Copies of this chain bind each other. A is one copy, B any other.
Amino acid sequence: MTAARSEASFVQTLPGRYYYEPAIYERELARIFSEMWVCVGRADRLPSGGMYCAVTVGTESVLVIRDRDGSLRAFFNVCRHRGARLCSAASGQLKGSIQCRYHAWTYGLDGRLLGAPNVLDLAGFDRATYGLFPVALEVWEGLIWLNLAPEPASFVAQVHAPILERFGTLEPFQRYHMGDLRSGTSITYEVQANWKLVLENFLECYHCAPMHPEFCALLPGFKSGQIYAGDESASLAEGIEAFSMSGKASRSPLPGLSETEARSYYGIVVSPNVLLNFLPDHLVMHTLFPTSPTTCQVVCDWLFAADEVARPDFHPQDTVEIFDLVNRQDWEVCELTQLGMFSRAYASGGVYVPAEAHIRELADFILSRLA
C-alpha cells in the first residue's frame, strides 16, 4: 500500500496516526495549544466589571475576568491552597472577589490573595506568594487570546502573520473593523473528527463543488475547486444580492469596503484555531477547540455591524442558514475522513492534488511545532 508514495506530482498528507494517536495529540496540546496564543472567544462576552467566563485551553480551565476598570485578566481556575476549581459555571458575575468554596480563600479580580482564614496574620506568611497563577491575555479585534506559556512569544508576530502573508498589509483586513462588530448568532458544533481535519477542510475548495452546491450557487468561483490556487475572484453570482440562503440582501454591505469587497468572499486562518470568513455584510468566525484526539468543538459566530444587531427588526436567519448548512456539510466529510485515518490503507497518508497542495504548509507547521 505504498505504491502511491513514489508519485512525484502529488504532495503527501500526514500519516493517518497524526489524526488519532493520543501521544501525538498530547504533544499538540503541549506545543501548540499551550505555547501559542489561542483564541478563546469574543471580548464582548464580558461587557461589564466583575463578569467572568471559564474557558478551556488545551486541558486547562482558565478564568477570564473583566475588572472594574474595564481591563481583562486571566488566571488558572485553581485555588492556590488545595487546588479546588474556583468557578465551576461557564460564566457569571462576581461581587468584587473570587472565593473558593472549600476553605474560603478569597482573591481579588486582579488575582491577589485578599483573605484566607486563620492564615493571613501568621508570622512569615507572604500573601503575595499566594495570588492566583496568571495566564497571558491579549485582546485583538474583539477577540480574547490566551497563552499558557510562562514566557509567551510575540502576540503580534503570530496573529498578523497570516494577514500579511495574504495581503502584504493589514489594510484590507482592517477595513472590516472586526473588533467593532457584534455576534448576532452563535452555534456550537461537536465534531467527531481531529481538529486538523477541520482546518484542512477549510483550507481548500476542491470539495466545494461536490459538497456545497448551495454555496457554489452564490459564489460560482468555488465550483472550479481552483480558487485558492490562482487569482480567480470569489464574487457573488450575477443577480445575487448577498451571501444568504435566498440570495437576497437584508442589510447594506459593511461601511468602508471597496466595491470589489462589497461583492466578495475571502477566508483566512489565524493559526492555530480561528477561521475567518469575510463577506460583504457580515463575517463568519469559527473558533476551534480540540477535545480529544478524534473530536473537536467548533464555535461559529455570525458577526454584524453593531447597529444592525441593535435594530428591533434584526433577523439574521437568512444569513445564518447558508453557513450553518455549509458547516454541517463540512463536518459530515470531516467525520467520514476521520474514520479512514485508522485504516492500514491510510497508514502512510493520502495525497493533496495541486489545488490542495498549499495545505501541506499546515502539515509542516504541525511537524515543526511537535519537533
Interface size class of A (residues with CB under 8 A): 35 or more
- What's the minimum C-beta distance from A120 to chain B, rounded to whole angstroms? 10
Of all chain B residues, the one with the shortest Cβ separation from A125 is: B9
- What's the minimum C-beta distance from A161 to chain B, rounded to whole angstroms? 26
Report yes or no: B9 in contact with A355, Cβ–Cβ below 8 A. Answer: no
Chain A, range 11-29, C-beta contacts under 8 Å to B: 13, 16
Report yes or no: A7 in contact with B129, Cβ–Cβ below 8 A. Answer: yes
The answer to whether the Cβ of A44 comes within 8 Å of any Cβ in the partner chain is: no
- What's the minimum C-beta distance from A8 to chain B, rounded to whole angstroms? 7
- What's the minimum C-beta distance from A335 to chain B, rounded to whole angstroms? 9
Indicate which residue in B82, B101, B210, B341 contacts A103 across the interface (CB closer than 8 Å). Answer: B210
Of all chain B residues, the one with the shortest Cβ separation from A59 is: B342
Q: Mark A290-310, 1 if CB is under 8 A from B, else 0.
A: 000000000000000000000
Indicate which residue in B4, B78, B129 contacts A345 across the interface (CB closer than 8 Å). Answer: B78
CA distance A80 to B351 in the complex (A): 8
Q: Mark A100-134, 1 if CB is under 8 A from B, else 0.
A: 01111000000000001111001111100110010
Of all chain B residues, the one with the shortest Cβ separation from A88 is: B336
Report yes or no: A84 in contact with B344, Cβ–Cβ below 8 A. Answer: no
The answer to whether the Cβ of A353 comes within 8 Å of any Cβ in the partner chain is: yes
The answer to whether the Cβ of A79 comes within 8 Å of any Cβ in the partner chain is: yes
Q: A1-B133, A103-B206, A104-B210 are in contact. Are A337 and B119 (CB under 8 A)?
A: no
Report yes or no: B117 in contact with A85, Cβ–Cβ below 8 A. Answer: no
Instruction: List residues of chain B with CB within 8 A of the CB of A210.
Output: 101-104, 117
Report yes or no: A129 in contact with B342, Cβ–Cβ below 8 A. Answer: no
Copies of this protein in the complex: 3
Indicate which residue in B85, B342, B353, B355 contacts A339 across the interface (CB closer than 8 Å). Answer: B85
- What's the minimum C-beta distance from A177 to chain B, rounded to whole angstroms? 35
Chain A, range 207-252, C-beta contacts under 8 Å to B: 207, 209-211, 224-226
The answer to whether the Cβ of A55 comes within 8 Å of any Cβ in the partner chain is: no
Report yes or no: B333 in contact with A13, Cβ–Cβ below 8 A. Answer: no
Report yes or no: A4 in contact with B101, Cβ–Cβ below 8 A. Answer: no
The answer to whether the Cβ of A92 comes within 8 Å of any Cβ in the partner chain is: no
Report yes or no: A82 in contact with B122, Cβ–Cβ below 8 A. Answer: no
CA distance A206 to B102 in the complex (A): 9
Of all chain B residues, the one with the shortest Cβ separation from A81 is: B350
Report yes or no: A79 in contact with B119, Cβ–Cβ below 8 A. Answer: no
Instruction: List residues of chain B with CB within 8 A of the CB of A76.
Output: 343-345
User: Assuming A85-B336, A101-B211, what are 16 further A-B pairs, CB within 8 angstroms?
Assistant: A7-B126, A7-B129, A9-B122, A59-B342, A60-B344, A77-B340, A78-B345, A82-B350, A83-B350, A85-B339, A88-B339, A101-B333, A102-B336, A103-B207, A117-B225, A118-B226
30 A/B residue pairs, CB under 8 Å, sorted by A: A1-B133, A1-B150, A4-B129, A59-B342, A60-B344, A61-B339, A76-B343, A76-B344, A77-B340, A78-B345, A78-B346, A81-B350, A82-B337, A82-B352, A83-B341, A83-B345, A83-B346, A83-B349, A83-B350, A85-B336, A85-B337, A85-B339, A85-B340, A88-B336, A88-B339, A102-B207, A103-B206, A103-B207, A104-B209, A118-B225
3 residue pairs, one from A and one from B, having the closest CB atoms: A83-B340, A76-B345, A104-B210
